Amino acid sequence: MAGTATQGAELYRKTGTAPLAGPLVASPIVIGGRTLPTRFFLAPLAGYTHLAFRLVLRGIGGLGLATTDLVLASMLWSERRKSLDLVETCPDDRPLSVQIFSGETGHLVKAAIWLQEHGYESIDINMGCPMAKVNSSGGGARLMCNVEGAVSMVSRVIDAVKLPVTVKMRLGWDASMITAPELAVALEDIGVAAVTVHGRTRSQGFHGTVDREGIRQTVAAVRSMPIIANGDVRTTDDAFSMMRETGCAAVAIGRGAMLDPWIFRRIQGRANGETDVYEPTADEQIAFLSDHFSLMARQYDDFACLMFRKFAAWYGSRLGIPEDLEDRLRRFESFAEFDEIVRQIRLRHGERMCSVPTALVKTPNGPVEHW
């Protein structure tokens, strides 16, 4: 193994500062027998982390692992169109993990076998989803309330397939039920390859600050299973301080990658000792926008126009898109209209200051109905 969570904690305890080119931070990591080129991963964002987004991010560089949107296990093995779209992939879309969820062990097992038979390389089980309809059927974050039940479920999946199985969880259900350390230890014992911890409880939804101490305690509890820390990482500094403060083996970034698609490139550059912060040119920013849309259109045809609109708010100021054109991107209806908007962005790119927005755009409403 190229490095473990415990080694990570050790390194940061010794140095005490954010390593700029620490050997561990810059080194690849092995999870479930796969060597991942970097320790900075894309966290799943339902509705966003489709093939097109994963591919444009990979094109920029620095991304160690991407995970699909969560897919309902029973919809996957029964091969529903929407679920097949979510797991659509291609050779350039590696390394990839597919995230499945269910409250039914049998459904998870069938989905895992389906993934293995269809050539996927890794399975992630969701134990963090806060949505009421997922939790009421026993899936998502609800699994964290019953450690024994959750472990037996995952163990059945591990027994059914040869693929590495990972789990993504929160700290627990609420402040009175922090089960992440206990659950992570039990999952390590049954052979889970890695655990991602979003440093909030289910009842926090997406509010409040991420509890890095809670993640650190999970890292400290396990023997050597990599813990991937997650939550509110928006900048290179955030990524390094997350590693330093928690001792995690890797960091997963969700919304930060939407706000700044170059984040992985920057982090990896700094991990490798680059002193200049990587800043994309205007051409690169515009190419990113066009490429993302073209890839989406390749998969979804005309429907891509509708699907792409929600990216406009995230991309606007980062890609230097003038506000009126950002507004048009939220409403465009055809390929020709998209091309015209891009033509105008090219002419007027310098007008709006390019910035990485610090405010969160379009966060889900809370723990109950939406992500």
Ligand X SMILES: Cc1cc2nc3c(=O)[nH]c(=O)nc-3n(C[C@H](O)[C@H](O)[C@H](O)COP(=O)(O)O)c2cc1C
Nearer residue to ligand X within complex by CB, 99 or 102 = 99
44 binds ligand X (CB under 6 A): yes
310, burial (CB in 10 Å: exposed 0-12, middle 13-18, buried 19+):
middle
Binding mask 49-78 for ligand X (x = CB under 6 A): --------------------xx--------
Here the tokens at position 118 are 């269809």
Binding mask 278-317 for ligand X (x = CB under 6 A): ----------------------------------------
Task: Supply the DSSP symbol for 176.
Answer: T
Helix (H) or strand (E) holding 221: helix 212-221
Nearest residue to 269 via CA among 64, 114, 61: 61
Which residues between 139 and 168 bind ligand X (CB under 6 A)? Answer: 168
CB of 151 to ligand X, least distance (A): 18
172 binds ligand X (CB under 6 A): no
255 binds ligand X (CB under 6 A): yes
How many CB atoms within 10 Å of residue 179? 22
Instruction: State yes or no: is 129 an active-site residue.
Output: yes
Strand-pair partners of 30: 35
Q: Which residues contact 176 (CB under 8 A, 6 or more apart)?
A: none
Set 129, 145, 305, 354: catalytic member: 129
Nearest residue to 215 via CA among 249, 171, 255: 171
Here the tokens at position 130 are 């806060």
46 binds ligand X (CB under 6 A): yes
Nearest residue to 252 via CA among 120, 90, 124: 124
Interatomic CA distance for residues 39 and 119, integer angstroms:
24
89 binds ligand X (CB under 6 A): no
- Which of 64, 172, 205, 256 lies at the binding interface for ligand X (CB under 6 A)? 256
CB of 195 to ligand X, least distance (A): 12
CB of 129 to ligand X, least distance (A): 6
How many CB atoms within 10 Å of residue 333? 11
Interatomic CA distance for residues 166 and 121, integer angstroms:
12
Which residues between 177 and 236 bind ligand X (CB under 6 A)? Answer: 198, 230-233
Nearer residue to ligand X within complex by CB, 209 or 224 = 209
Interatomic CA distance for residues 259 and 42, integer angstroms:
13
Which residues between 90 and 129 bind ligand X (CB under 6 A)? Answer: 99, 126, 128
Nearer residue to ligand X within complex by CB, 6 or 99 = 99
Q: Of 2-10, 43-51, 52-60, 270-278, which part binds ligand X (CB under 6 A)?
A: 43-51
Interatomic CA distance for residues 219 and 210, integer angstroms:
15
Which residues does the annotation mark as catalytic?
129
Q: Which residues of this protein are in contact with ligand X, per CB under 6 A?
A: 43-47, 69-70, 99, 126, 128, 168, 198, 230-233, 253-256, 363-364, 371
